[in-house]
Structure 1
């Protein structure tokens, strides 16, 4: 079947005369057959204009709902809600001390009064104050070692030996202090033998360290007291140490910017160290000139410099111990200060330094 059998018109949209149709189609052409076989014209679907407009309205309304636009044509778009202005930055806060300053001052004044009264009334009473501080310090140190590290340094022989060490130093001087130290170490070794041998070396090593660190160094305070002008020497030792700590705190808190030993004690600064040196040297010159017999102001300058160095090293040393133990304070006995060991940290290593320099400058008395 070819294309002519479909009866396609000669020209789209032109009328053909009947007499011409026969000539064009040939003798076999039949008009009735052509009409029967002519295919139906393909009429494309024309969408209903009204329905299409309605559908578009529905789509527009749906898009308006999704996009937050108006729901109806005559509805005005909502204006965005005004956003609240950002809050103003907080005002800069003033530097604050890390401890209760009022409690610290009150406790410090109370301890100072106790020391002065016992020091200038009867020397033996002040020796008792030293013994009490040593025993409490040993208790704090051994308790923290056991709590944080599981180290069981025997407290009983340490307390008895520490008290004996202080008394021997006051009565017999350095020779008596060394003998008492040796006997205390021996007592620690023997006392620990009553327990299982596990960790024996660790425990006795910690015990001997505690005996040297607390009572042996404190014995030099008793040896300062032994001289004829012993109360003045002890007062000089205490004043210089306290003034050094105060100068370091005051200058460091006000001007401190450069850390002294950030891995050991982040609060200490180089400016604070300069403050400690300056304050201690001035106090040393005054004390040597007016408190110590045959003393001189220039000796006080050297003494103050040495005290500032030893007090700072002692403070850093105990900070190292506390960092190793993971604690901030050795105890809570003294409000605003921590424990007894937190007050003895700079005093203990300073005592032998002051004792030695005073012996060199003015003799043993």
Structure 2
């Protein structure tokens, strides 16, 4: 039988150049990028629309976001062997942003009711463990209570100025994430916490802080707020740093239970908690600094 041979030239014609990705892989990566960008724009568009429409739409959006984040958190806790009281925890996660429509005192009252309810559940439910009580309480505090700061921030300044300020705070975190990714993917050499988030680098962290500060300087330049350049820089740095902390905290939770994403609600992004991790700590930081500084 005659053996068929293949010339090295033919092999070279079919083999991709060194370092080049095969066409199907490049196509899949491009499709994934388009999907991620498309659903990311939908999420951001809905969020901004609610902020523009006023405090009530903002509260309703944050309540829905909090419910989804808390649901995903409880799902991860079940993977870790915990049995949270989902009815109690999810109800509290929704009520925290809604109670912020009234004032911060209602948030304190709801926190009291939550802790009391958890204690009574533990007393009258022999099967409940203290670990179950702990994760049930942490879930709505970590999600609904923290995200209620967005409602307080939107309500603090009326009209278009309040909408712009709220959008700016959220945008500083979104831009920070984008800058961190762009800088880290190209220049990242020194890992921050490789055992928790292997892709995060100190170079990306610095790029993220620059992005956050840039947005706050734009807010200062509008002249609508009692901000000066040093205070805007302070806000940008603090919000950017706490946004990274929020990201790392959620990464630690996911690594602890052995999952890559908190859910699969948003194609290309994972779950709602994956999209909100930096907002959870960044927005409340912004609200507290602006409140203490007398800006709102």
The TM-score with structure 1 as length reference comes to 0.70
Equivalent of 2:146 in 209, 217, 221? 217
Report the alpha carbon displacement of residue 98 of structure 1 after superposing the two structures with TM. 12
- Equivalences for residues 244-283 of structure 1 within 5 A: 244-283=176-215
Aligned residues: 279
Return the index of the structure with the highest Cα Rg. 1
Aligned to 1:265, the other structure's residue is in SS state coil
Aligned partners of 2:166, 2:179: CA distance in 1, in Å? 20
Note if 1:241 corresponds to 2:173: yes
Are the counterparts in 1 of residues 56 and 101 from structure 2 also a CA contact under 8 Å? no
Distance 2:67 2:133 in 1: 18
The match for 1:44 is none
Q: Is the CA contact 1:134–1:214 (under 8 Å) kept in the aligned structure 2?
A: yes
SS at match of 1:334: coil
Hey, what's the Cα distance between the residues in 2 that align with 1:98 and 1:213?
35
Equivalent position of 1:182 in the other structure: 112
The unaligned stretches of length 5 or more in structure 2 are 1-6
Structure 2 residue aligned with 1:168: 99
Runs of 4+ in 1 over 6 A off after TM superposition: 84-90, 96-99
Q: How does 1:128-143 map to 2 (within 5 A)?
A: 128-143=60-75
Q: Structure with the greater relative contact order (CA < 8 A, sep ≥ 6): 1 or 2? A: 2
Q: Tell me, what secondary structure is at the counterpart of 1:257? A: coil
**Shift of residue 194 of structure 1?**
5.9
More helix by share: 2
**Partner residue in 1 for 2:163:** 231
Question: Which moves more between the two structures, 339-348 or 218-227?
Answer: 218-227
8 Å CA contact 2:54–2:154 kept in 1: the answer is: no
Listed one character per residue, the Cα deviations across residues 293-342 of structure 1 (whole Å, up to 9, x for unaligned) are 22223322111111111111110111000000100000000001000000
Where structure 1 has 5 or more consecutive residues not aligned to the other structure, the ranges are 1-83
**Aligned mates of 2:188, 2:108 — CA distance in 1:** 41
Task: Give me the whole-angstrom Cα distance separating, in 2, the residues matched to 1:311 and 1:135.
Answer: 20
1:332 aligned counterpart, secondary structure = coil
Cα deviations across residues 152-193 of structure 1 (Å, max 9, x unaligned)? 1111111222222212223112x2212211212222333455
TM-aligned CA deviation for residue 362 of structure 1:
4.1
Q: Distance in 1 between matches of 2:215 and 2:204?
A: 16
Q: Counterpart of 1:267 in 2: which secondary structure? A: coil
Shift of 1:131: 0.4
TM-score between both structures, scaled by the size of structure 2? 0.86
Q: 1:89 to 1:112 in 2, by over 3 A?
A: closer
Q: Is structure 2 residue 84 aligned with structure 1 residue 153?
A: yes
1:254-333 alignment runs, 5 A limit: 254-290=186-222, 292-333=224-265
Change (3 A) 1:150 1:272: same
1:92 aligned onto 2:19: yes
Alignment RMSD: 2.5
Distance in 1 of aligned mates of 2:182 and 2:252: 22
